[in-house]
Amino acid sequence: VTQTKEVKVLDCTLRDGGYYSNWFFDKDLVSSYLEAMSASNIDYVEVGFRIPTAGS
């Protein structure tokens, strides 16, 4: 029996950084970050969940 192990990479930079920036990120920063993650062959990007507030 041959087993092939596949490693998947998850980046949580935006999720963790959101705790410090109250999930405010410039759109250009997010766009550049996601392009870099795509070019780096990162399998998953975790963004977290921002609870909506009135007016947001």
- Segment (H or E) for 33: helix 27-39
Residue 4 token pair: 């092939």
* pLDDT score of 56: 57
Distance CA 51, CA 5 (A): 37
pLDDT in tens, 12-54: 998 899 888 888 889 999 999 999 999 998 999 998 776 777 7
- Quote the pTM value: 0.65
The answer to whether residue 55 scores a pLDDT higher than 70 is no
**3 — pLDDT class (breaks 50, 70, 90):** confident
